[in-house]
Structure 1
C-alpha cells in the first residue's frame, strides 16, 4: 500500500510462527515485533499467523530473527496460499510418542524405586544403573518439550508451568543420582514404617510420574486444539482453485483462481464453484448460496444479477465479470472474520498459566528460603538441600496435568452418549453465566430441507390428484421446489413436451392433458377459486412458498412448500425459558418467514435479513449490552458468529466450518440437546475448577510440610498419587451427568 504525500509507504506481510504453546506466547511475540521501528503487528495464536504492517522494503529476515530471538520459529507466509499442514496435529502425534515411551518405562521404574527404597535387602549389584537406565529416557527425551520451553522462558526472564515442571524433574533426577551413587546402605532391621521414613531419597519415580501425567494432559489438549483449528482449513477448501477465463476471441483458458483480475470474464458450469464476486453478463442458472447466506432454496440468477464467490452453480452456464477478487471478496472477508474471532478467544490465558505467573516464582523463593533457613539453623548441607528439593518436587503440578484433560475426556465420553461433543474448555469459563441463546433458522430450528406442507384442491379435485399431476411435471425439473413436490409421491406418471420457464414454473403433458405448475402470477391467480386464493395468502404469511397447479387452463389447486420446523424446536425453547434464558432468532431470511418460525417455536425476539458479517455485529452488540451469548448454528455463514459468541454450538450435521468454529458440537440433529449441552458444559467447567483448586490447594498445604523437612519423598509421592486419584475420581463423576434428568 502507498500512503499519502509525505507519509511512509507501508507493506503488509505475514509470518507463520511455530512453537507457541499458549496465548502468552503469542503476546510475547507480538510485543517483540511491535518494538521494531514503525512496525505494527498482531499475532493470532489460533492460526499461528503474525500479521505485520511495516515500511515497504523491510528486510523480512530481520523480522523473522526478532521472532526467533523470543524462542520461536518464523517463516514468511505466502498470502496467496493457505497452509495445508496442521501444527497442532503434528504436535499431538509427537507428544503421543513421548507419552507412550514414558508410560512403558514408568511402570517398572516406580515399582523398583519403591522396592529398593523400602526394602534394601532386595537391592543387587548395579541396581542404581537399572533405575538410571529406566529413568533417563523419560526425564530427558520424553520431558524435552518442558525443558525446551523452560529454557526459552529463562532466556527472556520469564517463567511458566513448564519452568516448574522442568526444574522439578531435573532436581528430582539429579538428587536421585546423588543419593544412589554416593549414599550408603540404610540401617537394616527397622519396621516398614520407619524404613519408609528413613529410606533413601530416590525421586526417579516422582520425576517420571510428573512427566507421564503432564504429557498426557498436553497430548489431549493438542488433539482437541487440532480439531478446533480446522475451521479455517475447511473454509479455505471451499474456494475455487481454478477458473476458466474468457479470452477476446471467445475461447476459454483455465488459470489458478488467485490470478483472476477484476473485470475479467469467466465461465462457470454446473457443479463448479464461482471463483469471485461479480456480475452475471450471460446465461441463467440456479445457484446454491446456502454455504454463504444460509438460504436453503437455490437462487435463480440472470444477466444483471450479482453472484458471490464460494457459491455453487447447480444448472446452466454462467458468464461472470469479476468485480472483487482475492482479499476483497465476500468469501475472503468471511475467512478474516473467523480468524479475528478465534484470535480474540485465543488471547485468554489458561487458568493454570495465570496462576503460574505468581505460583512458580513463589515456589523457587520458598525453596531458596528453606535451604537458607536450615543452613542457618545449623543443619547439614545434605539435609538443607534435601528439604529445598522436596519443596520443588512436591510443588510439581502433577494433579494440574490431569485436572483439565481428565474432566474433558470424561465429559466428552458422556457427551457423546447424550449427543454433545465438547471441543475445548477456554470459552466454557463463561458458560455458567450464559443468559442469551441465539438460534440460526435454516438448518438449525428448521430441517433445512424443503417439504410439501399443504395441498389445497379446487372443487372437483382431491389433494392426491393435484399432487400427482404436479409431481409428474416436476419430475423433469431439478429446482428445489420441484424436488420437494416430486419426493412427496411414490410414483410419477410420464411427462411429455416438458418446458421450463426460468423464475416462473414448468409445464408439460401428462396423460394427454396440459399441466402447468408455478408462481401464482404466472399461472393466473385471478382465475383461482376463492378458498384457494385465501389459502395462498395464509401460506405466504407463514413464509411458505406457494405453487399453483393448472390443468388444461383451469386452476385445480395449490401446493405449499416449506422448510419444516424441527419437532424438538419448541420443546427446546421452552426448556431454555424455564432456565431463565433469553432466546433470539437470528437469520438471513425475510422478516415474515422468520417471524412465523419464531411464533411457532416460542421465540420472542427476532432479527432477520442479516448477512453473515452482520451476524457477528449482532452478537457483538448483544455482548456490549452485557449479555453472555451462546450461538446455535449449522452453516458456513454461521462460522464467524459461532467463533465470536461466548459459547458456539454447532449442529453436527452442519458444515465443517461451523463445526470447526464452535466450542460445542450437537452430534444429534435434535435441539433438545442444547439445554443438555449447556448443563454439561457448566458441569464440566465446575469440575475443572474443583480439580484446579484441589491441585493448587494440595501444593499450598504440602509445601510448608516439605519446607519443615517432615516430608519423605516416598510419602510425597504417595500424596501426589492421592491428589491425582482425587482429580480423576472427581472427573469420573461426570459419567453420571443427566442420568436422572
Structure 2
C-alpha cells in the first residue's frame, strides 16, 4: 500500500515509512529529517507552509533544522542547497532571530568576525539576514550556528519560500507580548487614578498597600514577560560589554520597579504604572517598526513568491540530439520534481498560466511568453524553436516544452533575486558613520544619566526620589534606534521602489553614489538608440552593380561571426540564403570592423578608418552622410557601401532634458562615425559628444573626468563599453543583454529604456535626501529631548512614549520615498 510522506509529499510503500503520533493524528515520514522538519514547522506555528505547498513535492529533508544535533547543518544536502562556493571559500546566508536593535547587529558581527575561519560578515538590520563568508577547512556551519546561540541569539538557513512564515511568526510573538502589556496597562491605569485621587482627598494606609500590591502584580508580567526581548538584549550587552538600547530600557524600567517596591514598604510614591507603560510603549514602537520594515521588504519578497516549487520533467534519457528537435507530445511521461533537482539537459513542460522556473531553449513549436517580470515589456513575446526561455516569464498560450540550459541557482530570475537580496550588504558610507555613533551612544547616555543623578542629588539637593526619576527619564528618552534605522530603512525602500521601476541596484551604496553624481556619459548604439539598424541605401563600386556569389558568401561568413548591430543589420539585408564560404582566418577589431583572409585575398568589413589603416583606395566623393556606413572591400578596392540608420529611443530626448534640468552634464561617447554622433546629439540636445571612440579611448576619457573631480555615471550596453563601465563611479547597463549586463554593471535598467536611467538618478537622489532627513530627525530629537529630560521636564512615562515615537518618525518618513515622482 502506497502512502505520502506528510512533509515532502513523495509517495512510498507504507512499510518503509516512519509512523509518528503528533497530537491526535498518525503521521507518516520517509526519514527522520522529514519528521524533524514537520515537528519544527508545527511547533513554530508554520504549518501554513504545507497549505502553500499544495500538490507540489519536496526533496526528502536529510537535515533537521532545529531541536536536533547541529551536525545536521554540516550534511551534504544542506551544503548543496544553502551554500555557494567562491574559489576556496564558502558563503552562506542565515536569518538571525531575536535581533531587534542595531547593537544586536553590531554584537553578532563583532563576535562572528573574531571567530577563527570566518572571513567576512554582513548583517542587515532591516531583514536580519547575515551573509557569512568562511573557510570550510577552518570552521563548520554547525560551529557558526553554535557561536550565534552562545551569545543569546539563534539562526536558521535563509530560505526565501519560508521567510514569509518566519516574518509572520515574529510579528505574532511581538503581538502576544504587546497584548499582555496593553491589558496590564489598561488595568493599572485605574489603579493609578485611584492613587492620585487618594493623594488629593486622602487614603488609608491599608488601601494604599492594596493598590500598591495590585500595581506590583500587574507591572511584573509586563516587565518580565512582555519585556523578555529587552532582558535578553541587555544580558548580551552586559556579557560582552556593549551597551545598547535594551540596556537603556531595562535599566530605566528596573530602577523604577525596584524603587516602587522599596517605596511600597516605606510609604513613598510608587511608579508601577510607569514601569508597565515604559515596556509597553517601547514594545508597541518595536512592533510597528517590524511591520514597517516588513512592508518595505514586501516588494522584494514578491520576486521569490513568483517562483514555483517544482516543475514537470520528461522521464526519458537526457541530452540526446533528438530532444532538441522533436515535437511536443502531451502523452509522454512527465514527473513533477523539485526545481533544485532539475539538471541541465532535462526537458521541462510548462502549461498556460504557469511561471517558468529555469532558463532554457524552446523546442519545436511556437510559444507566447510574458517577460514583464524581468524587462517590464508589457506586450508578450513570441518565441520560436531555438529561442531562449527565461526563468520568471509567464507562459500564456498552449503548453510547450523547453530544454534546461541552466540549473535553478544560475537561472536569470534567481540571479536577479540574489542581487536584490544582497543589495543591502554593502552599506552606504553615511550609514557607517551613523553605526559608529550608535555603538557608543548608549554608553554616553548611561554616563550622562548617572551624572544627572549626582547633580540633582548633591548640587541641587533634590530628594532621592526626584533625582532617580530624572535619571530614569534620561535613560529612557534617548533612542539610538532612530539613528541606526535612518539609513538602512530608507535604503531598503529606495531599492524596493527602484525594482518597481524595473531598475536593479546591485548594492545599496550605489544609491548614495548616484545621488552625488554630476556627469552622465552615454554610449549611442543600444543606449540612446534602439540598436536596431536598418540598411537605407546600397552603393556598388563595380561595373556589375552587384556582388558576385563568392564575395557575397565571404561577406555572409564574416558577418555571421560578429555580434555588432551593424553586422546584424547588413546580414539581415543581404539575406541568409547565401553560400557559407570557409575563412582561412578572421580578426575582429574593436571600433573598426572585421579583417578576413581567404586564400590570397584580404577582405575588410567595417568603417572608413579600417579602410584607411589597410591602404584601401578611397573613391571620391564617398557618401557624405550622418548615418552609419559599412564598407566591404577586397584587397585594396571597395566593393560595396551600405548606409544604415538607427532610430532613437522614444524617451531619449525627454530624458536628456530632464537630466540636464537636474544639473547632470550629459556627454555622448560613441565608437560610431562623427556624422551619426552629431545627428543623434543634436536631436536629443547634447552639446558635448565624441565620435570614433575605441573601448580604450572611452576608458581614458572617464579617467580624465575623474581628474576633474567629477562623479561619473556611465550608461552603456555592457559589451563594448565594459572597460569604461568599470572605470566609472556607477555603471548603468541597459537590459538588452541581461546576463552580461548584470555581470559588468552596478545598476541594470531591466526594461532597456532611457526613462530607467532618469529614474535611477531620481530614486538615488530621493533616497539620499530622505536618509539625510532621517539622520536630521534622530539627531535633532536626541539633541532636544535629552537636555529636557536632564532638566527634569520629562517624566519616565512621556520619555518612553517619545522614544518609540522617534523610531516611528524615521520609519514613517522613509515610507514617503514611495510617493509620486519628484
TM over 0.5: yes
Distance 1:33 1:404 in 2: 20
Match of 1:215 among 266, 271, 284: 284
The Cα of 1:287 is off from its aligned counterpart by 5.4
1:666-685 alignment, distance < 5 Å: 684-685=770-771
Query: Does 2:141 match 1:55?
Result: no
TM-score (norm 2): 0.52
Alpha carbons of structure 1 residues 585 and 161: separation in structure 2 relative to 1, 3 Å:
farther
Q: Which residue does 1:204 correspond to in 2?
A: 273
Q: Which residue does 1:150 correspond to in 2?
A: 234
Query: Does 2:443 match 1:361?
Result: yes
CA contact (8 A) 1:60 1:76 kept: no
Q: Which residue does 1:392 correspond to in 2?
A: 472
Q: Which residue does 2:415 correspond to in 1?
A: 333
Distance 2:461 2:122 in 1: 51
Query: Does 2:692 match 1:610?
Result: no
Q: Which residue does 1:298 correspond to in 2?
A: 381
Match of 1:73 among 154, 173, 179: 154
Q: Which residue does 2:164 correspond to in 1?
A: 85
Alpha carbons of structure 1 residues 147 and 585: separation in structure 2 relative to 1, 3 Å:
farther
Distance 1:594 1:123 in 2: 91
CA contact (8 A) 1:109 1:205 kept: no
Distance 1:403 1:52 in 2: 28
Alpha carbons of structure 1 residues 630 and 693: separation in structure 2 relative to 1, 3 Å:
farther
Query: Does 2:239 match 1:169?
Result: no
Alpha carbons of structure 1 residues 170 and 715: separation in structure 2 relative to 1, 3 Å:
closer
Q: Which residue does 1:478 correspond to in 2?
A: none
Match of 2:100 among 21, 26, 32: 21
The Cα of 1:55 is off from its aligned counterpart by 3.5
CA contact (8 A) 2:245 2:481 kept: no
The Cα of 1:731 is off from its aligned counterpart by 8.7
Match of 1:689 among 761, 770, 775: 775
Q: Which residue does 1:342 correspond to in 2?
A: 424
Match of 2:314 among 223, 244, 262: 244
Deviations 1:326-346 (A, max 9, x none): 434444433332333232249
CA contact (8 A) 1:102 1:138 kept: yes
Distance 1:712 1:29 in 2: 37
Which moves more between the two structures, 82-91 or 99-108? 99-108
CA contact (8 A) 1:437 1:632 kept: no
The Cα of 1:386 is off from its aligned counterpart by 5.2
Alpha carbons of structure 1 residues 721 and 675: separation in structure 2 relative to 1, 3 Å:
same
Distance 1:593 1:299 in 2: 32
Distance 1:367 1:350 in 2: 26
1:72-151 alignment, distance < 5 Å: 72-75=153-156, 82-99=161-178, 102=181, 106=185, 113=192, 116=195, 120-122=199-201, 124=203, 125=207, 126-151=210-235
The Cα of 1:169 is off from its aligned counterpart by 1.8
Q: Which residue does 2:403 correspond to in 1?
A: 320
Which structure 1 residue ranges, 5 or more long, are not aligned?
A: 3-7, 185-199, 449-518, 525-537, 542-560, 587-591, 624-628, 656-668, 706-710
Distance 2:576 2:794 in 1: 89
Distance 2:409 2:292 in 1: 31
3-state SS, counterpart of residue 365 of structure 1: helix
Alpha carbons of structure 1 residues 398 and 209: separation in structure 2 relative to 1, 3 Å:
farther
Distance 1:224 1:697 in 2: 26
3-state SS, counterpart of residue 162 of structure 2: coil
The Cα of 1:136 is off from its aligned counterpart by 3.9
The Cα of 1:164 is off from its aligned counterpart by 0.9
Query: Does 2:664 match 1:581?
Result: yes
3-state SS, counterpart of residue 327 of structure 1: helix
TM-score (norm 1): 0.57
Distance 1:150 1:325 in 2: 45
Query: Does 2:347 match 1:266?
Result: yes
Distance 1:430 1:523 in 2: 47
Distance 1:173 1:357 in 2: 27
Alpha carbons of structure 1 residues 325 and 238: separation in structure 2 relative to 1, 3 Å:
same
CA contact (8 A) 1:285 1:301 kept: yes
Distance 1:677 1:115 in 2: 54
Alpha carbons of structure 1 residues 565 and 162: separation in structure 2 relative to 1, 3 Å:
farther
Which structure 2 residue ranges, 5 or more long, are not aligned?
A: 1-75, 80-86, 324-331, 502-507, 531-571, 578-624, 629-645, 670-674, 690-712
Deviations 1:684-721 (A, max 9, x none): 4454334323321134424653xxxxx37749948986
The Cα of 1:352 is off from its aligned counterpart by 6.9
Distance 1:684 1:35 in 2: 34
3-state SS, counterpart of residue 607 of structure 1: strand
3-state SS, counterpart of residue 718 of structure 2: coil
Q: Which residue does 2:787 correspond to in 1?
A: 701
Query: Does 2:111 match 1:32?
Result: yes
CA contact (8 A) 2:174 2:283 kept: no
The Cα of 1:156 is off from its aligned counterpart by 1.9
Deviations 1:653-684 (A, max 9, x none): x99xxxxxxxxxxxxx9999999877865664
Distance 1:181 1:204 in 2: 17
Paired residues in the alignment total 578
3-state SS, counterpart of residue 396 of structure 1: helix
Distance 1:319 1:107 in 2: 63
CA contact (8 A) 1:176 1:204 kept: no
Distance 1:268 1:726 in 2: 50
1:544-563 alignment, distance < 5 Å: none
3-state SS, counterpart of residue 71 of structure 1: coil
Tell which has more relative contact order, 1 or 2 (C-alpha 8 A, sep 6+).
1
The Cα of 1:92 is off from its aligned counterpart by 3.6
Distance 1:167 1:635 in 2: 57
Query: Does 2:64 match 1:64?
Result: no
The Cα of 1:66 is off from its aligned counterpart by 1.1
The Cα of 1:151 is off from its aligned counterpart by 1.8
Distance 1:74 1:223 in 2: 22
Distance 1:24 1:636 in 2: 42
Distance 1:438 1:47 in 2: 37
3-state SS, counterpart of residue 55 of structure 1: coil
